[in-house]
Structures are given as structure tokens and as C-alpha cells.
Amino acid sequence: MPDPAVLVIGGGPAGIEAARNVADLGVRAIVVEQRERLGGTPVHEQYAALTPHFDDAEQAMADMEAALRARELADVRTSSRVTALSGDAGAFRATVEGEQGSEDVEVSAVILATGFTHFDPGRERQIYNYYQYPDVLALQDLEAMLKRGEVLVPSTGQPPKRICWIQCVGSRDRNIGNEYCSKVCCGIASKQAIEVRKHVPESRASIFYIDMRMYGYWEHQIYWPAQEQHKVQYVKGIVTEILEQQGHLLIRGEDTTMGRPVETPMDMVVLSVGMEPSQGTRDMAQLAGVEQNKYGFVDVARPPLDTVGTSREGVFACGAALGPADLEDTISSAGAAAVKAVAMIRRGTLSGVS
């Protein structure tokens, strides 16, 4: 019988951290990532800085990858996919297809770390004209700008004098079926507003929100500094329409605090898009035979005391595969999934939660 191993599907922050922990606990970790490099969404979407500490995203992911590859028990396979999974906890057989062909590997446990995708703001109602107006961006579009070290209005190539963020695009919206809060959008918008004000000090930055949800320490890490140090304006209100008028964008909505309509010209509008399960999460959940919630994320089988176990014994999940999560949540759940998987192997029993 081969030595025990844990299959980690996904090579983003969650997968890297889970695999590193598995290897540190003395068990072989096989990481399968469909893209040609590790790093997940922060690398693929060209994030500039991580929330809330403003660490360089590319460097942070490179450091994580280097730490993983330094482990002798880490077997990293990029440009690869898991195409089949059979067997039971303790004796799974997975088919991995990559550049070198197809291979069957035997593993004792599986960790799904397949992440999320950004909500497509042009997929549903076109009230924000994301695909029509080049100066309407999504959070990840602005991140790529910030990574390049420039903040310029796409249509003019000039720095914006007026820029705003619209919160809860694709989250907390019953009309499209995403009733949940995506957790990180308020913090990311505040982080970006600080960065924009640093890049373009003469700009006016506003954030239109339903409720500002700064959980944990984010309140004093980014929310108050954005207002007090960087003069970002927070407007409690709803934006219902974005139009193009005389070479500028015109946003219309309601200031719900004052109870009056709002009509304001802007040079750039940034849509704070929420999280949805990635196609990889949907596909791998079905392939692994684990239950998904109504939104498509992997369902936790025994909440709240087991946060990473799924409906199939021996299969665990972590990070944004389980639902909206910030990086701290992601790293924590990745460590928990690794410990659960290795503990199951060490016990040599499949009795469930210890």
C-alpha cells in the first residue's frame, strides 16, 4: 500500500497553505492547479495590495509558493486537472490530467481549495452599463491599474478628478439570487480609495453604500483612516443608474440618510463586485460528490463546530470554495482542513469529527 497522501485541488492561497501544512505534518501533499502557475485570484486578476495591510499581492503569493516548494513532501502540478475521483476515505483514486498526460494517484484524503470568481456586473440587469462605458470598472479592473502604478480614466488617459465606488454589486441582491454579503467588498473599496487618493491627491473619492460592513479590526485599519486621513467621502445611498453625459459619467440614485435624490458627475465609477463560486468549485464539488448550498459553494456538513468537513467523508474544503472569505479566513480554514485531513490519516479510522 502506498504512503498516505492528501490531494489538494486548487493552487491559490487556500490550496498553497493547506498543502504546506499537510507537508509540515509529515504527509505528502499533491497540489493540482489548472492554471500554469500558483497564486490563484490575487495573481490571475493582478491584485496590487492585500486588504487590510497593503502587502504587495504578487510578492505575498510568491513567498507562499516558495515556502510550499521548499517542502520535500510537496508535489506541485500546474496546468493540470482532476478528471475523476473514486473510492472512499483512506483509499481514494484520482485521475490527474496534465501536460505529461494522464495519471492515476492514490490518496487518503482530498481538500477542495477551488476558490471563487468575481460577480460579472454585466451578466444581469444592465443598470451600471459595465460593458458599454469604458470608465465603469470593477474592483479587479482597478486593482490591475493600481498594480501598474497608475490610475487613469480609460477613455481619456487622464487622472480622475472624481471617482466613486458602488457597493453590493452582485451581493445582498434577492433579484439575482445572491442574498449573501460577500464580506470583503467594503474593505477592498476603502483600501482602493486610500490608494487612489495617494496616487491622485487632487481627486475626490466617494463610496456609495447600503451598509458599511467592516468586521473585526478593519474598522480602525482602513475605514477610519480612509475618512480621517485620506478624506474619502462615504455616502449612505443607492445608485440606480449610470449614464454618459457630456463626456462624463452621471450617476443617479438616492441619499438614503438625507432622503433626497442624488445626481452627480463622475470621471470613473468602480463597481464593488461580490464573490460567486468559481467554475472549478462547481465542477470539483460535483466530481467529488459533495453537497453544495443553493449558491453553488461547497456546503459544510456539520456546522458550526466543523468548518471544513463536507458531506463526503475524507473530503474537506477551505477558503472561498466554502463561501465568501477574506484572506485571513482563507488561511485559517486551509490550516484547519490540513489538520483534519492528516488527523484522519493518523487515527486510521473514519469515525468523523474528533
136 and 98 part of one domain: no
Residue of 125, 122, 123, 124 lying closest to 134 (CA atoms): 122
- Say if 139 falls within a structural domain: yes
Examine the fold and report which residue of 209, 242, 274 is the final residue of a domain before the chain moves on.
274
Q: pLDDT digits over 248-292, tens only?
A: 999 999 888 878 888 999 999 999 999 999 999 999 999 999 999
Contact between residue 249 and residue 135 where contact means Cβ atoms under 8 Å apart: yes
- Say if 18 falls within a structural domain: yes
Cβ contacts of residue 231 below 8 Å, gap of 6+?
A: 197, 205
- For the purposes of burial, counting CB atoms within 10 Å of the CB of 257, is it exposed (0-12), middle (13-18) or buried (19 or more)? exposed
141 and 236 part of one domain: yes
Q: What is the DSSP string of 70-106?
A: T-TTEEEE-S-EEEEEEEETTEEEEEEEETTEEEEEE
Beta carbons within 10 angstroms of residue 25's beta carbon:
17
- Say if 354 falls within a structural domain: no
- Say if 318 falls within a structural domain: yes
105 and 156 part of one domain: no
pLDDT at 123: 77
Lowest average pLDDT, out of 114-123, 223-232, 268-277, goes to 114-123
Q: How confident is the model at residue 353 (pLDDT cuts 50, 70, 90)?
A: very low
Residue of 312, 30, 268, 311 lying closest to 161 (CA atoms): 268
Which three three-digit cell numbers place residue 156? Answer: 481619456
Task: Decide the pairing of beta strands 233-245 and 204-209.
Answer: parallel
Contact between residue 171 and residue 304 where contact means Cβ atoms under 8 Å apart: no
Domain that holds residue 167: 119-274
Q: Convert 198-212 to b/e letters by CB count within 10 Å (16 or more is b).
A: ebbeebbbbbbbbeb
| CA distances from residue 249 to 136, 163, 229, 238, 345 in whole angstroms, order as listed | 8, 10, 27, 16, 58
195 and 245 part of one domain: yes
Examine the fold and report which residue of 248, 274, 300 is the final residue of a domain before the chain moves on.
274
Q: What is the mean pLDDT of residues 280-309?
A: 96
Q: What is the mean pLDDT of residues 108-135?
A: 91
For the chain, the distance separating the N- and C-terminal CA atoms, rounded to the nearest angstrom, is 25
Place of cell 513567498: 63
* R_g of the chain computed on alpha carbons: 22
- Average pLDDT for the chain: 94
- Say if 11 falls within a structural domain: yes
237 and 285 part of one domain: no
Question: Hey, is 306 helix, strand or coil?
Answer: coil
210 and 315 part of one domain: no
Q: What is the mean pLDDT of residues 40-54?
A: 96
Cis-peptide, bond into residue 304, ω within 30° of zero: yes
pLDDT at 125: 62
321 and 267 part of one domain: no
pTM of the model: 0.94
217 and 302 part of one domain: no
pLDDT at 239: 92
- Say if 301 falls within a structural domain: yes
137 and 240 part of one domain: yes
137 and 198 part of one domain: yes
Q: How many domains is the chain built from?
A: 2
Q: pLDDT digits over 126-163, tens only?
A: 679 999 999 999 999 999 999 999 999 999 999 999 99
Report CA 96 to chain centroid distance, whole Å: 25
Examine the fold and report which residue of 225, 241, 274 is the final residue of a domain before the chain moves on.
274
Q: How confident is the model at residue 184 (pLDDT cuts 50, 70, 90)?
A: very high
- Say if 352 falls within a structural domain: no
43 and 73 part of one domain: yes
